[in-house]
Structure 1
């Protein structure tokens, strides 16, 4: 039945070419320079005047691409790469920094539930998104921990007119993938409401047919997101928002040639209450109360249906916050204060652990002339588990003329030690090694010693002082140019990260296995340049090109290269390498690029959307045993991915769409688990 439905959509796409009313949207319906954004400053600003490196993804771009999940649309942006971790979840890499350093927000409030620092972004549907705002570079001055590398804010649609409107859509794709959306918006006088519902299911895919376990197992999930708005007056407005997410996935594993099966369940709940109060023309307040809970629970049974393993994860965040903006002529002073209460109960934690922190932030948006804009601010965080943090930031934009501006920023960011790095207590049952969080390591080592399980401790290791937060200094220098049909955006960046938290051996057990714990060890740096350009040949034909060059290296490797300068080659000969042969950090590509072509055929009211993406080679493992990635290691080869979507408007309200992601069916089963091969899709959407 589903196949017939897909064929119907594809056939219908090729007919009904008769001209009807003019289609509402065009390729260039809104110039990006006119888009107003809030994430970079927490106040509404025009994008082109912002002194920070920022990217906007509009709802129109999302629809025309044909994608359905947040991870898919982010992976199409310049300077953003989605990297799968050992759990299979895809995490954001921006400016060479890992996913743990990027904060993910929905309507300005954070998501929780990170696995090894990675949020599963596929759990966020794009069916009700108004726009996505991406701020690159240290943003701790406004958002605190987890924003050391940047912020991604997903902003959902809101009722705007006194009427009932909405969107209904259904998309069917390869691997029996189904995505159904309903987004309903209603407004009447002072009251308005928005209800979004999404259902997603897939059979998963398998890149290696020689094993019974799939690369991605089948799963289904649903999202329900109701939002209510009430305007007591023009100066007093209330928003109540909730989001519920539930997922059920087949859980399978092969352990010592034995097959194990079970289930993995995820549940997420977010609730936000916000009161906006404009005291007068100069003074504006926001009072916000936010709570969120993320749970997952998975188990594996053996072939006799006897429980073999169970893991669980239950995290809570409760955050009240108050913000105010004071308008002073052409300038704005923004300030805020809040409290975070966090708790996590999970497998391999001895107890339910709790964090609490208090914070204040201040930012001054200074406009001395029409040409100059200066953003200066800081945030102070007081935390129960690590040293207090002061995060300053300064950004400047100079408008040379109406077409050309220069911008630069310097900021401090930090990343707090997470629950895992402080409280983990895990011993591998089959191999026997142990990983201990910093705060529990000393007591557990003493316990191992009293039980006769330790052979020796590593000399010079102590847990006397607290584990420090990772910190970064971030520099950005760029330019924005827009004239006639051409638009250019260039940004050079540099990040210096100190106190990087990593594992090291703290003891050896009598079984020959090691005990690991977490320490502030490394200092790394990343630098590069990002380039984006768009050229509108006509109002119906545009082309854009994006490129990022990246270098990311460990400073301790460069400073102590003599410890890594000898390798064993393919002939098992010892060979000395040069410092210039050091490639850098793992899973980083020096070159990434994209080419996007958008073409509208007005006569048949059809949009063609072609996107081509390139990622150069990168290394995943040290294959020649010198503990670093050098050019003689084994690399994942560079590759291209091509996505194509065609949208046909039958009427102003009815759209049919067909396309292919990974059009040329690229796969690399042995190295890349998150590229499934060609995925064909068809979609029908009705706007009312």
Structure 2
């Protein structure tokens, strides 16, 4: 009997001590990922995959276990697996990239959703996670966190500005909202102000040619603001901060469900009403602003997950800057100088996928923009309406070819009080009506896993300039997951309206002279991009380097130098070039530190014939040869974190007068910010910090601020100076403290 019990115990021990094995391979985008940490925490087992991404864990007790796959630069994967046999269990894993500055899916480069790593066109991303590290009141400031993208203030009085990409002025940048070219011409200056940050899912930036898909204004690059899908948005979200200068920003959004529709409503309010003159020139250092923006987006549930959405936005802004004792009774007078701008803007955006077996989409938009403004005693009253409709067919032909074919129509009506819309005899007003039909085609050809080729062509017809052809070609070569090369080439064209695009044509006292009938600009653009990933056991490094070259003919330039009292516009008798290289470095460490850093070198200049027929070299205004960005995040225990962000710039050429006492080139300078954040488990977080911690402020931004109407230019003025606020290269705001709170309820 005793022998029987011993036999039973031995059999039971063998049964309960049986072990199994797990093995598999770890890949990403079809390529092996070496050195991945594979662990079973409950058993305190940890190994590393080999150089081929293969792993094997032996002697795992029978039962259900959680296996964790972790590697720097990739999202952690957790898989539950049941071991009930001594036979090896195969568990293959596909890791997804994880980076605080990147979002896997992008659409801007090809007009269709595609993995960023698979896109033949390089696309840079700003996510809310990134631009919350330096909270701003508008997206205009947020995009400055992208290397090579420069938010440029063009006036020291009203603080209007535009976005420069690779040194090219704002009008060369096409701004999209959900893929629609809704911000252009009259609204270029104010286009990114008033878009509620709570509505933004990400911002995609494409540098270089994109005219074959997006038309005439995409000569220098694209900024595409992708708004959140109501399905994915929090039920309630709020973000508000206050600065020691008195700037108040409030951003609130909420989601509601109504049957098969889901809606997201966002409101942004910004107010700044403090008259500050720290440099003592009797002009406001920062434009006073009162702005409200309301955004509403609806997504509709349809059969077979077909897309349908509609969104609307309304913006009202009252801004003014000028002499400290100005108020609205002096609007338009020549007694006390002020620049006062009332802006009203309404937008409608829609997307509808046709109920067919084919993927056919129709997009439409309409925007109305009204500007009522006085620059001193110079009025500028303008209204613009833009209607846009586009239909395209997304057709995968086979495993190798993916075709995109479409047609679009944009109709613009523009009216103002300047000679730009006067009749031929100058006796009456004649609003400009500009239809611009176009067709486009694109083929994305996957030659094999390593090679991809994209070809595109667009044809537009402008009633004044005839047929316009815009081809584009892009190529991607990825020998493995750690190396990617992209190359692209394309052309573009642009028709210019000076008064809507160049604020210098209105502000100050210079007379605007149009020397000739302006012809449309043409450009030829090329980019070469290389991405290198360096994974190790202790850190993950990403290097992204891009060389760019753009050649312009018929470039329209403002001559600030020939006559200090005039801005003379004409087509360049010669050519202009924008060329350079940019490098982005992204480092993620095993300890809680993440770093993003970028540096750009660019040379932007024009070669124009002088009176003797020789080409003369002139450096582009507001285009520093050297610039860079940096973001550093360190996470502390108990959900605390520290963020250090900033931009730095080398010398840039500035508009000066003959015998000007101010230097022609700005100094090297850096605008750095620091922020501390505390997060709580229930969606609440508090943050605070210091902006411009180095307290950098430009010197002498306004020439002759004591005589803004040039009433006394003949008195004690041997150099012939005139009032001019265009000497601008940085904000006049010095060091300031900010405090804020965020809340998200999912």
Shift of 1:120: 5.0
Structure-2 residue corresponding to 1:155: 226
Structure-2 residue corresponding to 1:608: 642
Q: Distance in 2 between matches of 1:245 and 1:681?
A: 25
Secondary structure class of the residue paired with 2:389:
strand
Q: Name whichever of 587-596 and 40-49 sits farther off.
A: 587-596
Q: Residues 40, 172 of structure 1: CA spacing in aligned structure 2 closer, same or farther, 3 A cutoff?
A: same
Shift of 1:499: 0.8
Q: Name which of 515, 518, 523 aligns with 1:472.
A: 523
Q: Distance in 2 between matches of 1:173 and 1:681?
A: 4
Q: Is 2:353 aligned against 1:276?
A: yes
Structure-2 residue corresponding to 1:414: 493
Q: Distance in 2 between matches of 1:196 and 1:263?
A: 27
Q: Residues 468, 244 of structure 1: CA spacing in aligned structure 2 closer, same or farther, 3 A cutoff?
A: same
1:502–1:522 contact (8 Å) kept in structure 2: no
Q: Distance in 1 between matches of 2:565 and 2:269?
A: 46
Shift of 1:286: 0.9
Shift of 1:191: 1.6
Structure-2 residue corresponding to 1:650: 680
Structure-2 residue corresponding to 1:595: 630
Unaligned runs of 5+ in 1: 1-25, 302-307, 439-462, 565-581, 627-631
Q: Name which of 680, 689, 709 aligns with 1:659.
A: 689
Structure-2 residue corresponding to 1:294: 369
Matches within 5 A, 1:157-236: 157-160=228-231, 165-187=235-257, 190-203=260-273, 206-207=276-277, 209-236=279-306
Shift of 1:385: 2.1
Structure-1 residue corresponding to 2:721: none
Structure-1 residue corresponding to 2:53: none
Q: Residues 58, 560 of structure 1: CA spacing in aligned structure 2 closer, same or farther, 3 A cutoff?
A: farther
Q: Name which of 333, 342, 355 aligns with 1:265.
A: 342
Q: Is 2:198 aligned against 1:127?
A: yes
Structure-2 residue corresponding to 1:322: 391
Q: Name which of 451, 470, 478 aligns with 1:399.
A: 478
CA RMSD, 1 decimal: 3.4
Q: Distance in 1 between matches of 2:398 and 2:558?
A: 52
Structure-1 residue corresponding to 2:601: 549
2:694–2:735 contact (8 Å) kept in structure 1: yes
Q: Residues 557, 52 of structure 1: CA spacing in aligned structure 2 closer, same or farther, 3 A cutoff?
A: farther
Q: Is 2:114 aligned against 1:80?
A: no
Matches within 5 A, 1:619-658: 619-621=653-655, 634-658=664-688
Secondary structure class of the residue paired with 1:617:
coil
Q: Residues 186, 482 of structure 1: CA spacing in aligned structure 2 closer, same or farther, 3 A cutoff?
A: farther
Structure-1 residue corresponding to 2:547: 492
2:229–2:299 contact (8 Å) kept in structure 1: no
1:528–1:550 contact (8 Å) kept in structure 2: yes
Q: Distance in 1 between matches of 2:222 and 2:348?
A: 20
1:53–1:137 contact (8 Å) kept in structure 2: no
Q: Residues 633, 181 of structure 1: CA spacing in aligned structure 2 closer, same or farther, 3 A cutoff?
A: closer
1:339–1:356 contact (8 Å) kept in structure 2: yes
Structure-2 residue corresponding to 1:390: 469
Shift of 1:685: 1.0
Shift of 1:235: 4.6
Q: Distance in 1 between matches of 2:638 and 2:737?
A: 23
Structure-2 residue corresponding to 1:584: 619
Number of aligned residue pairs: give it.
598
Q: Distance in 2 between matches of 1:177 and 1:41?
A: 39
Structure-2 residue corresponding to 1:446: none
Shift of 1:471: 1.1
Shift of 1:560: 7.5
1:619–1:633 contact (8 Å) kept in structure 2: no
Q: Name which of 156, 160, 177 aligns with 1:89.
A: 160
2:375–2:508 contact (8 Å) kept in structure 1: no
Q: Name whichever of 242-251 and 29-38 sits farther off.
A: 29-38
Structure-2 residue corresponding to 1:16: none
Structure-1 residue corresponding to 2:40: none
Q: Distance in 2 between matches of 1:397 and 1:78?
A: 22
Q: Distance in 2 between matches of 1:396 and 1:434?
A: 44
Q: Is 2:407 aligned against 1:337?
A: yes
Q: Distance in 1 between matches of 2:187 and 2:344?
A: 18
Q: Name which of 505, 508, 513 aligns with 1:435.
A: 513
Matches within 5 A, 1:63-74: 63-74=132-143
Relative contact order higher in (CA < 8 Å, ≥ 6 apart)? 1
2:247–2:271 contact (8 Å) kept in structure 1: yes
Q: Is 2:585 aligned against 1:533?
A: yes
Q: Residues 122, 61 of structure 1: CA spacing in aligned structure 2 closer, same or farther, 3 A cutoff?
A: same
Shift of 1:398: 0.5
TM-score computed with the length of structure 2 as normaliser: 0.74
Q: Distance in 1 between matches of 2:693 and 2:317?
A: 29
Q: Name which of 169, 178, 185 aligns with 1:107.
A: 178
2:133–2:645 contact (8 Å) kept in structure 1: no
Q: Distance in 2 between matches of 1:620 and 1:141?
A: 34
Q: Residues 290, 403 of structure 1: CA spacing in aligned structure 2 closer, same or farther, 3 A cutoff?
A: same
Deviations 1:637-661 (A, max 9, x none): 1111111111101333100010122
Secondary structure class of the residue paired with 2:141:
helix
1:503–1:519 contact (8 Å) kept in structure 2: no
TM-score computed with the length of structure 1 as normaliser: 0.80
1:251–1:299 contact (8 Å) kept in structure 2: no
1:428–1:434 contact (8 Å) kept in structure 2: no
2:161–2:189 contact (8 Å) kept in structure 1: yes
Q: Distance in 2 between matches of 1:94 and 1:312?
A: 29
Q: Distance in 2 between matches of 1:144 and 1:116?
A: 17
